[in-house]
Structure 1
């Protein structure tokens, strides 16, 4: 069987400071059409790097050659999934509680019982009881997803979104929390392979969730950043902040990121949390709302599946470790 390897220069930056540069590094790859994100993940695993924030590749060349058994690569026999192991699921959504405020100026949800356990006892056999709850809320509650009709009257509603845009998407995490910049522009995105992927903007804005500071000088995606994601084929874009646009920005009510992304049919997930628990690449992201016709925004249970592996020597082989 024809096998392939990749050669490249790489610059690695770490979440706890410092950087690493390599020239002419080679790793085994599974096929000739491997993406830069996949090569980056193989590179990180091959060196056993920890606390990786970002990998930038240059001068990438994929060529036919027999595998050398790169650690963590397709021919490595020392880092295989544990027998019966499943992926680790990471929660990425906020809990919705009665009266909580998600977005300034919008009402919090009203959560009430329609039928309590006690009230239901007269309707069922002895010992059988149920709770039927009632919730009144705006769609922009908790962690939610925007569909194109949220911005455009003739856009696709929640019921019309294909599952391929919502579930089991390969994810790439863009970390900007230590950049010193509120706006995430095209330059901050340029090193990432985003085609067909859920692009998750890890800004650290969720640290202020539930406080007045959550909406003050919040991180956001700039107009040229949104245009870059459209041009490069992102499947979905999410952010762990109050809005994907700058709500204190240039002019009253301007929403260029919503405008460009939703015009291109790219769903938006706002108010994510827990993105620090994801590796830069390799996770798969899901954020699926109910199929509500004529509705543009609704809460989601956003989560990511992270592969579970256990190396032969019983140490972690991944180049990334969750925080906490």
Structure 2
């Protein structure tokens, strides 16, 4: 089966201001039926663009051509490597412990959450604090390699931000091990399946009410939020922490 690529023009706006326009850009595709939203996500990932808000494509052409190794694409075999040394654990709690953090388990059973989804996970910190748009969409997360990672949403607010259905689905598809946020609640777009339900339904634990995310690097830290072994209990306070590379 031949490889496929796409050529397109694109215009991007960013949540913290500014824009970018490209013409005739090319990315590797997983197949000839890739959608424009998938192509846009590959474009953002290939350039490692952070805080992308809107991505508009034009003059999209899909054609057979050998893959060139687009970062984040179907032929990208690269994986982020952890730092050889780390500091002492950094607490990710809040000044008022009663307000978080909490962990919620897939299947409503904290005792069934494996350590592989809650301890020593390489972390990516998605910074949207200060962004005009209050929705975390695919453009905000597509720049990161999230497979096997804890994806931590740094919103800088206790409420008001939502994780879109498309972003939650993208995180599931790309193998995120856990999703955390400094908001009180991981909310989805009104009137649709909530992001929490989509993630939990796919076996991805959710941690809400984190603190201290502003002190973590975008990548390189190790995140941990080991849940208590409480059979049949869906949600409980957790002592979350991170180890930061030296």
What's the TM-score bracket when you normalise by the shorter of the two chains?
0.5 to 0.7
Q: CA deviation at 1:89?
A: 2.2
1:261 pairs with 184, 190, 199, which one?
Answer: 199
1:220 pairs with 148, 158, 162, which one?
Answer: 162
Mapping of 1:1-324 within 5 angstroms?
54=50, 59-60=70-71, 87-95=87-95, 102=99, 142-150=100-108, 157-205=109-157, 214-215=158-159, 218-246=160-188, 250-251=190-191, 255-308=193-246
SS in 1 for 2:236: strand
Q: CA deviation at 1:204?
A: 0.5
Q: Deviations over 1:269-315 (max 9, x none)?
A: 0011111101111000000121001100011111100122xxxxxxx
Q: Give the distance between the partners of 2:76 and 2:200, measured in 1 at CA.
A: 35
Question: Residue 124 of structure 1 aligns with which residue?
Answer: none
Q: Give the distance between the partners of 1:167 and 1:233, measured in 2 at CA.
A: 16
Contact 2:84–2:245 (CA under 8 A) maintained in structure 1: no
Q: Give the distance between the partners of 2:163 and 2:17, measured in 1 at CA.
A: 24
Give me the CA root mean square deviation: 3.6
Residues matched between the structures, number: 185
Contact 1:283–1:307 (CA under 8 A) maintained in structure 2: yes
Q: Give the distance between the partners of 1:177 and 1:55, measured in 2 at CA.
A: 10
Question: Residue 3 of structure 2 aligns with which residue?
Answer: none
The alignment's TM-score, normalised by the length of structure 2, stands at 0.65
Q: Give the distance between the partners of 1:288 and 1:190, measured in 2 at CA.
A: 27
Q: 1:181 to 1:165 in 2, by over 3 A?
A: same
Structure 1 runs, 4 residues or longer, greater than 3 Å off: 16-19, 53-56, 58-63
Q: 1:193 to 1:294 in 2, by over 3 A?
A: same
Contact 2:101–2:237 (CA under 8 A) maintained in structure 1: yes
Q: Give the distance between the partners of 1:54 and 1:88, measured in 2 at CA.
A: 28
The alignment's TM-score, normalised by the length of structure 1, stands at 0.50
SS in 2 for 1:269: strand
Q: CA deviation at 1:250?
A: 2.2
Q: 1:181 to 1:55 in 2, by over 3 A?
A: closer
Larger radius of gyration: 1
Gaps of 5+ in 1: 1-15, 20-52, 64-72, 103-141, 151-156, 206-213, 309-324
